[in-house]
Structure 1
Amino acid sequence: MKKIYYILFGFLLSLMVLSCGEKSKQDDEKLKSAPWEEVEAKANGTTVNFMMWQGSTAINDYINNYVVPSVKEKYNIDLQISGGQGPEIVQLVMGEKQANIYEGQVDMVWINGETFFQLRKVDGLWGPFVEQLPNASLIDFEDAFINTDFQQPVNGMEAPWSINQFAIVYDYEKVPNPPKSIPELENFIKQHPGTFTISNDFTGMTLLKSLLAELGGEPNVLDGPFNEKKYNQLSEKLWSFINDNKQYFWKEGRTFPKEQSKMNQLYANGELLIAYGFSEGGIEDKVLNGLYPKTTKGYAWENGTIRNSNYLGILHNSPQKSGAMQVINFLLSPEAQLKKADANGMDSNTVLAMDKLDLEWKDKFLEARKRQYGPTLKQLEVNAIAEPAPEYMIRLYEDFRKKVIEN
């Protein structure tokens, strides 16, 4: 009798869990078309967990000392921050899916490109939700650098947060004529051995994408779906160039920095004469904080450097989707975007279209503190190229390890 009782109890418990899961899915679907007032009401008093990269002091300060208190004051939302980027986010989602966890640890994530691609493959994102956000009306979704993420249509599954371009960084007193093409780079490293390297991270792989495009003969050669034949042909040339010249790299090419912060430090202490990075090189805060010399400048590669947007997404099993929507809507507000654009702060380009703002906010953006040292997005736009399909990045990571590091 006890055995039958336990079997029945287990069966009923399973039905209850399934029923709760089904109701949660139905509520989530309704939320996609709910009036914004209803979303706001549901968001009030929630705790929202935001997983993001925490490798920048300026970004952390913006989030912890401005965004967190603002959403608490304005919407009674407790915003909790946890560290994690691409691989950690994907691993979390896949682990929770395998464990059939209906209410996950994280609500919203900071992502783009490769991570967006991987999360979409496993149905890890919830949406579309972007059109529901009132402040989304202030964004120009006709802009291809916003509506497309690594050749993938965004389709409302992630909200654009910032837009930026990759730039090469140098000290104009030490390097009056920095290299702007592969032949010039080859001459430069031979003349200045040990002063250049490639970081084995997202930033270094982005540089390789620009070199790959140059080897293809035109800025937009990598546009469209991933092309295996094209990748093999161009990457063979790329690995030959690197391996033929890595004896002139930092540490004679025997080792490569694993993260951007190491690259920054090597440039700061003079070991490297050439560095690079997103946010138009990320120069301003490093000069203002005394890491980089005031003679630091940035520029785009002659054939072009990558311009892209980064985004905010909501995970499929977020327990507080309404709260996440409210936080994301705030992050897209003119107030929050203006604060984020301050050159003495986070120094991040707004995704808001100036012609969609009212005159008061437009004037505030025009009057905001501007950069003293780094180039602007506008100055680099003539050399902007789109991110190629995410498979290019995935393959570059794999092959850089196999054909350069382990070679």
Structure 2
Amino acid sequence: MKKFFLSLLALLAGCGSDKPREPQQILAQTWPQIEAKGRSQTVSMVMWQGDPLINRYMNGYVRPELKRRYGIDLQISAGQGAGLVQTLAAEQQADQPSEADLLWINGETFYQLRQINGLLGPFVAQLPNAGFLDLQNPFINTDFQQPVAGMECPWGNVQFTFIYDSSKVTRPPQSFAELPAFLKAHPGQFTIPNEFTGMTLLKSWMIALSGDPKLFQGKFDEAVYQKWSGALWRQLNESRPYFWKQGRTFPEQLAPLHQLFANGEVAFTFSNNDAEVDNKVNQKVFPATARAYVPAPGTIRNSHYLGIVRRAQHPEAALLVINFLISPEAQLKKMDPNVWGDHTVLNLQALPAAQREQFEQLPSRRYAPRREAIQGLALPEPDPEYMTRLFKDFRTYVIEK
């Protein structure tokens, strides 16, 4: 009988441990309590894995450092966007703990996770390194017109750029207004990937056509979208015969477009990271003649973030991981163009002088514009609905037309 009760108690204890704790219970802890509980845990991180240098930064630097500092085993798996949201929603519906602890997210995914109450809660203020974050910067404290409000932690800040081969193009179009005439004069050299980066290009182009970026601030406006997306589809369809393969097909991902560019089949590719051209040239993926720039009146600048799943099994360990990822050491390593080139989300003036000097002495960009040169060409991200609609309508009004 005694053995039976002991077995029953063990079973009940096991069932109880599977029940996710309430966010307020987790976030009410002090940092020393979080650190003690988070050590020597396994953290499951879901992120985009489409760039070899990003993967090398995570696997070759971040994972060993977390193991050394905290005994944390960071396990990374691929996932993003709607598929990620659907998985978390299914776990919620089944009342199961999540298989994921930590997410790399922004924009539309952040919005959708808020809709299903899929995030832990406002945790950023808990992080000791949060004091270094540049949270007064509107390109960092606002995600697709959504106040971050501590629900996700800034990780990197980037701006969309055109990348061209200067051996083929002596003078690329300096503005979106010049682009149609340029395409007509240089047929077959340009196309648009039907994914996140391509949609960022389309958003920037649509805002340029409107002549007034303020129209796209605040909540989604149906009338604004209809008017200026309509102008965008007309211009795209007029230019389509001069696209790569006469616009009969479009790359479904950015990687194939990068490959077309590397092979010399097209003269342009794009990046959401203004420094990416440097690391691609350094890897010898792109030719040494590749250059990046921002056409007038500007392109989207945004930040990407780290979120913790509401039903995470190791939330304290996830907090330790995020605190490390925004540390001056990890941000410095990540900002190096030879490592990743992802612009920091830290306020450098808040750093001790010695650390600030390290950032200032990083290798400068050789093929990408310096940040100060494109500061006046940065456009804020519009509401997530604009991207959702562009995805759908680009296929309807251009690809399948």
TM bucket (normalised to shorter chain) is: over 0.9
| Equivalent residue letter for 1:352 | L
Map Cα deviations across residues 169-215 of structure 1 (whole Å, 9 max, x no partner): 11223212211333311111111111111110000000000111011
Q: Against the structure 1 CA distance between its residues 274 and 199, is the aligned structure 2 distance closer, same or farther, given a 3 Å change threshold?
A: same
1:89 and 1:361 map into 2 onto residues whose CA distance is 36
Shift of 1:378: 2.4
Show structure 2 runs of 5+ residues with no match. 1-7
Which residue pairs with 1:9 in the alignment? none
Does the residue aligned with 2:177 lie in a helix, a strand or coil? Answer: helix
Shift of 1:293: 1.8
Which residue pairs with 2:278 in the alignment? 284
**1:286-305 matches, cutoff 5 A:** 286-305=280-299
Q: Work out whether 1:57 is the aligned partner of 2:52.
A: yes
Alignment counterpart, residue 186 of structure 1, candidates 180, 185, 196: 180
Shift of 1:21: 8.1
Show structure 1 runs of 5+ residues with no match. 1-11
Q: Work out whether 1:260 is the aligned partner of 2:254.
A: yes
Which residue pairs with 1:393 in the alignment? 387
Q: Is the 8 A contact 2:298 2:378 kept in 1?
A: yes
**1:230-269 matches, cutoff 5 A:** 230-269=224-263
**1:202-351 matches, cutoff 5 A:** 202-280=196-274, 282-351=276-345
2:67 and 2:276 map into 1 onto residues whose CA distance is 30
Q: Work out whether 1:403 is the aligned partner of 2:397.
A: yes
Does the residue aligned with 2:364 lie in a helix, a strand or coil? Answer: coil
Shift of 1:20: 3.4
Alignment counterpart, residue 112 of structure 1, candidates 95, 106, 116: 106
| Equivalent residue letter for 1:57 | P
Most deviating of 307-316 and 83-92: 83-92
1:291 and 1:80 map into 2 onto residues whose CA distance is 27
Shift of 1:22: 10
Q: Is the 8 A contact 1:171 1:297 kept in 2?
A: yes
**1:147-186 matches, cutoff 5 A:** 147-186=141-180
Map Cα deviations across residues 21-77 of structure 1 (whole Å, 9 max, x no partner): 897434x31221321101000101111000011111111011001111111110111
Which residue pairs with 1:5 in the alignment? none
Shift of 1:220: 3.2
Considering only aligned residues, what root-mean-square deviation do their CA atoms show, in Å? 1.9
Q: Work out whether 1:68 is the aligned partner of 2:45.
A: no
Which residue pairs with 1:86 in the alignment? 81
1:307 and 1:106 map into 2 onto residues whose CA distance is 28
Which residue pairs with 2:125 in the alignment? 131
**1:25-64 matches, cutoff 5 A:** 25-26=21-22, 28-64=23-59
Q: Is the 8 A contact 1:219 1:303 kept in 2?
A: no
Shift of 1:372: 2.0
Most deviating of 173-182 and 218-227: 173-182
1:266 and 1:398 map into 2 onto residues whose CA distance is 25
- Count of aligned pairs: 393
1:106 and 1:22 map into 2 onto residues whose CA distance is 14
2:387 and 2:94 map into 1 onto residues whose CA distance is 29
Which residue pairs with 1:375 in the alignment? 369
* Percent of paired sites with the same residue: 47
Most deviating of 312-321 and 243-252: 243-252
1:57 and 1:375 map into 2 onto residues whose CA distance is 22
Shift of 1:167: 0.7
Does the residue aligned with 2:305 lie in a helix, a strand or coil? Answer: strand
Q: Is the 8 A contact 1:213 1:220 kept in 2?
A: no
Shift of 1:265: 1.1
Map Cα deviations across residues 336-367 of structure 1 (whole Å, 9 max, x no partner): 11111112111111111111000111111112
Does the residue aligned with 1:49 lie in a helix, a strand or coil? Answer: strand
| Equivalent residue letter for 1:82 | S
Does the residue aligned with 1:183 lie in a helix, a strand or coil? Answer: coil
Most deviating of 290-299 and 206-215: 290-299
Under a length normalisation based on structure 2, what TM-score does the superposition of the two structures give? 0.94
Most deviating of 324-333 and 277-286: 277-286
Map Cα deviations across residues 206-234 of structure 1 (whole Å, 9 max, x no partner): 00001110111123331111001110111
Q: Is the 8 A contact 2:190 2:243 kept in 1?
A: yes
Q: Is the 8 A contact 1:168 1:281 kept in 2?
A: no
| Equivalent residue letter for 1:371 | R
Q: Work out whether 1:99 is the aligned partner of 2:94.
A: yes
Under a length normalisation based on structure 1, what TM-score does the superposition of the two structures give? 0.93
Q: Against the structure 1 CA distance between its residues 73 and 247, is the aligned structure 2 distance closer, same or farther, given a 3 Å change threshold?
A: same
Q: Is the 8 A contact 2:276 2:337 kept in 1?
A: no
